[in-house]
Structure 1
Amino acid sequence: MKRAPTTFSLVLALVALALLLALTLAGLLSTRGGLKAAGETYGRLVVSTALAADELATRSDTASMRTLGALKQTGVAFSTAAPPPPTVRVASVIREIGRTAGDLLGDPSRVVVTQSLQSSQIWVRSEHDPRRWIVLHAVSYRQQLIDSTLVVTLLAGLIALAIAGVAARLLTRPLERLSAHATALLAGDPMIQQLHGSPREVRQLAQAIGAAGARLRDVARERELMLAGISHDLRTPLARLRLALELGDADDPQRREAMVGDLQELDSALEQCLAFVRDGRDEALREVDIITLVGQLLALREQPDAWQLDGPALLPARVRPTLLRRAIGNLMDNAERHGAAPFKVSLGCDGDALFVRVTDHGSGVPPTLLDRLGQPFLRGDQARSSSGSGLGLSIVMRAAELHGGTLELGNGSYGGLVATIRIPVAPTII
């Protein structure tokens, strides 16, 4: 399999490319500006020299001849032949000087630039004698320019690579530290010191990894609790069934009924465990009438007359119907199992949230245990003498959270437990 590039190499390449592009662009802009400046400066010198030589050539006095001789020694010459065509490509700076000189003279046709391997020349036609040309030799810096460009490019490339290496190291070092301590983050170890000075995005990624690790640990603990709780809850009815089968109690109608009750208890415990594992997160949202949903649940109770429904005629909401039905059903089961009649279900809207409240008239829950209710396999009766898996309130709490709401538990002023599911009218679904 092809090896993927490292983050360091990618960042290094990107930063180096960006720096090289910036340097290239800066070089082009500076070259263009320098070319224009050189053309303006040397073009004026060419015009001044050509005009002076042309004027001196018309005079015969000693001073003029001496000055003209000095100009010839600097490379200024006169020719009656036509300018030769260039044998090599004319340098940009020579063309720019010739263009500027032509513009300054007011007649671009009077200036001709030509270049050979040996030298560059600027020919200016005389104003006094159109057959005469003033020839100025221009020094060619082509090779020097090429050499200096190569040197500058090489130095710029080395500087760019050095800067890119430092920048890439600064950018990737926090990621390397995060990668090295990812296992510790998932395990829940604090990483404040190790990530000190890291960019905000890296710290956010570390927080996300830590949160994911916390969720994984919670799931693992829930599974361990579920396995431990279900093994405990199944052991007693299984032992009774085994003893009844060994004693031949299947022929006794009363004992057979007890065996059926044990089987129903096993089935209920397994159903609650499955409901806890399948949290209903994948169920689609639907618009339903909560009053109708609760009415259907009340009709299925063994003693529906022990229940009272208090609410408006219609209470529509967008919820996960199966999940909410199971949650409200668990609250009803919990009230009947641990509380006492009469029972009541109250529904309505309270501000920006709707509520479903289930109350009973039992003995309630000890205050020291009230804050812990909702933990998996935790029961209000510490002796675990009553039936039930201890997952009912956990399922209710999870259902409320998946609807963006909460489960509130408390003891009523008249005795008994008051369990309230609150769901936002426009819920934030998890």
Structure 2
Amino acid sequence: MSQSVTSLDVTEAEKGPKRQFSLRFRVAMLAAACVAGVVALAALGAYWTVRDNLYQQVDDSLVTRAQAAVKTPPVQSRLRSIPGAFLTSSDLQIGVLYASNDIAYPTDGSPPPTGKDELAVAQGSADYSIRTDVKTDTRVIALPAGDGQAMVLAQSLGPTKQTLNELSVVLFLIGGAGILVAALAGTAVARTGLRPVERLTSATERVARTGDLRPIPVSGDDELARLTHSFNTMLGTVAESQERQRQLVADAGHELRTPLTSLRTNLELLLSASRSGAPSLSERDRADIEEDIRGQLDELTQLIGDLVELARQDEPRAEFERVELIEVVERALDRARRRAGEIEFDVALQPWVLTGDSSSLERAVLNLLDNAVKFSPEGTAVRLRMYPLGDGTAVIEVADSGPGIADDDLPKVFDRFYRSSEARTLPGSGLGLAIVKQAAERHGGAAYAARGLEGGAVMTIRLPGAPG
């Protein structure tokens, strides 16, 4: 049993996946099927309409001629009185049926088919009868023609059926031609309409194969053109993200080179001094080197932490939460006070609520406060304000009493790893304000830098939301 199953599995595997029809073929077949359905319904409706009309015409003609035959006066033929209609009925089978079930008909013709329906009319138990005789394929009508008599007329349905057969052939040929034209037209429309999809498919395959993020040429303004625009936008976003990543790696490598080189130099000095026969370091020199190493390790730790924060904020968030901004600012303020030394804080906050990431916003506010503390002289105060602007946004404003920001540095202070000439002598990674800008933009806001009216720098975050 297991061998049979195994051979069956091998056979199925050898067959491979089932062939899937292309989208172009399916569109063409759908167009042909739709036209075939419409043509079939139209042809069937036309056929039955014409059929009913032709049979009704036969019935109307029989009724009219039967009534005329009943009213036709009799004529004498070989001393026998016969209905005058016998003389003008060469295209019909005509006869007079008596109540005794005898029938009189022209001598050069054949009697019309009769049955119980016609006999009932002759006997006076029915006003008239009209039916189709299946055996002779004729339409038979009987009308009263006097006491105990009925005028019976029968007309062949052969010409009518032949006309219907010819009509069915014509409808079939026209319908088949229509379906064929629809299939060809569907193929042409599918080929033309799906050409942008083919270009889009080729572009995605090119991106997957080569990593080339060049946009796709767009023509027209239909749904496929909008899809191509959206795909180009996605490619632009991916390209921009890759460029930011490359720039971040390059900048991080540049920033890491200096502390790592200094660390290596100091460690080599310590290792060289510990070897036998090498000149020893004084206690003061050793303490200075160790202090320098600790400072460089702190700088590296801060730089790596800032890089991790930037990478974390670049990640998409599925959903945000309701954030009481005043609570976020107060938590950041508590952390800043613990490492501010003698720097004071002048605080005035108004409630504000938004949807976002509280930890990201707290880190941004803390970076602004730390930056202000770093540039503020001892014994001065950092001013912190949060208030609404009345346009659906609120600002968090941090001002220090430091030297301020040069005009040339104002457009660049939020760039990654940018440090002004005044900041290069102070600890920091050059990423703190970049984190502030990224957090603000991630929440639909913006970050600004300016010089205060009384000196110092003013850093501002503007965020959408509502009063708390």
Deviation at 1:145, TM superposition (A): 4.1
* Aligned pairs (5 A) from 1:387-402: 387-402=427-442
For the aligned residues, what is the CA RMSD?
3.4
Deviation at 1:307, TM superposition (A): 4.0
The reply to whether residue 127 of structure 1 matches residue 144 of structure 2 is yes
CA separation in 1, counterparts of 2:422 and 2:402? 16
| Counterpart pick for 2:291 among 254, 257, 267 | 257
Deviates more, 1:220-229 or 1:130-139: 130-139
CA separation in 1, counterparts of 2:325 and 2:387? 9
Aligned residues of 1:15 and 1:164 also touching (Cα < 8 A): yes
CA pair 321-283 structure 1, distance change in 2 beyond 3 A: farther
1:270 matched residue in structure 2: 304
Deviation at 1:82, TM superposition (A): 5.7
* Aligned pairs (5 A) from 1:115-194: 115=134, 120-128=137-145, 132-138=151-157, 139=159, 140-141=161-162, 143-181=165-203, 183=206, 189=214, 191=216, 194=217
Long gaps (5+) in structure 1 = 86-106
CA separation in 1, counterparts of 2:421 and 2:199? 49
Deviation at 1:131, TM superposition (A): 5.2
Query: Residue type of the partner of 2:418?
Result: L
TM-score (norm 1): 0.80
Aligned residues of 2:32 and 2:180 also touching (Cα < 8 A): no
SS of the residue aligned with 2:420? coil
CA pair 37-305 structure 1, distance change in 2 beyond 3 A: farther
* Aligned pairs (5 A) from 1:243-322: 243-248=265-270, 252-279=286-313, 281-282=316-317, 285-301=320-336, 302-303=339-340, 306-312=343-349, 314-322=351-359
Number of aligned positions between the proteins: 398
| Counterpart pick for 2:383 among 315, 336, 344 | 344
CA separation in 2, counterparts of 1:203 and 1:243? 60
CA separation in 2, counterparts of 1:83 and 1:113? 11
CA separation in 2, counterparts of 1:113 and 1:381? 112
Write out per-residue CA displacement over residues 348-396 of structure 1, whole angstroms, 9 at most, x where no aligned residue. Answer: 2111112211222333333344334433333334995544333222222
| Counterpart pick for 2:453 among 403, 413, 421 | 413
Deviation at 1:276, TM superposition (A): 0.7
Query: Residue type of the partner of 2:370?
Result: D
CA pair 125-232 structure 1, distance change in 2 beyond 3 A: same
Write out per-residue CA displacement over residues 41-75 of structure 1, whole angstroms, 9 at most, x where no aligned residue. Answer: 3332221122223433x62168x96763332x223
Query: Residue type of the partner of 2:428?
Result: G
1:228 matched residue in structure 2: 250
1:103 matched residue in structure 2: none
SS of the residue aligned with 1:366? coil
Deviation at 1:273, TM superposition (A): 0.7
* Aligned pairs (5 A) from 1:181-220: 181=203, 183=206, 189=214, 191=216, 194-196=217-219, 198-220=220-242
Deviation at 1:189, TM superposition (A): 4.6
Write out per-residue CA displacement over residues 135-163 of structure 1, whole angstroms, 9 at most, x where no aligned residue. Answer: 11122225434433432332121122122
2:8 matched residue in structure 1: none
CA separation in 2, counterparts of 1:299 and 1:250? 42
CA pair 150-317 structure 1, distance change in 2 beyond 3 A: closer
Deviation at 1:167, TM superposition (A): 2.2
Query: Residue type of the partner of 2:301?
Result: D
CA separation in 2, counterparts of 1:16 and 1:217? 43
Q: Percent identity?
A: 22
CA pair 147-318 structure 1, distance change in 2 beyond 3 A: closer
Aligned residues of 1:374 and 1:393 also touching (Cα < 8 A): yes
Query: Residue type of the partner of 1:422?
Result: R
Query: Residue type of the partner of 1:365?
Result: I
Long gaps (5+) in structure 2 = 1-16, 98-102, 104-111, 117-125, 271-280
Aligned residues of 1:347 and 1:356 also touching (Cα < 8 A): yes
Aligned residues of 1:244 and 1:250 also touching (Cα < 8 A): no
TM-score (norm 2): 0.74
Deviation at 1:190, TM superposition (A): 5.8
CA pair 84-159 structure 1, distance change in 2 beyond 3 A: farther
The reply to whether residue 110 of structure 1 matches residue 129 of structure 2 is yes
Deviation at 1:413, TM superposition (A): 2.8
Deviates more, 1:414-423 or 1:365-374: 365-374
Query: Residue type of the partner of 2:181?
Result: I
| Counterpart pick for 1:70 among 69, 77, 88 | 88
CA pair 365-21 structure 1, distance change in 2 beyond 3 A: farther
Deviation at 1:311, TM superposition (A): 2.7
1:26 matched residue in structure 2: 42
Deviates more, 1:245-254 or 1:389-398: 245-254
Q: Kindly report structure 1 stretches of 4+ aligned residues shifted beyond 6 Å.
A: none
Aligned residues of 1:307 and 1:345 also touching (Cα < 8 A): no
CA separation in 2, counterparts of 1:201 and 1:260? 61
CA pair 66-369 structure 1, distance change in 2 beyond 3 A: farther
Write out per-residue CA displacement over residues 108-156 of structure 1, whole angstroms, 9 at most, x where no aligned residue. Answer: 960111335xx63111013215555211112222543443343233212
2:463 matched residue in structure 1: 423
CA pair 65-381 structure 1, distance change in 2 beyond 3 A: farther
Deviation at 1:207, TM superposition (A): 1.6
SS of the residue aligned with 2:371? helix
SS of the residue aligned with 2:395? strand
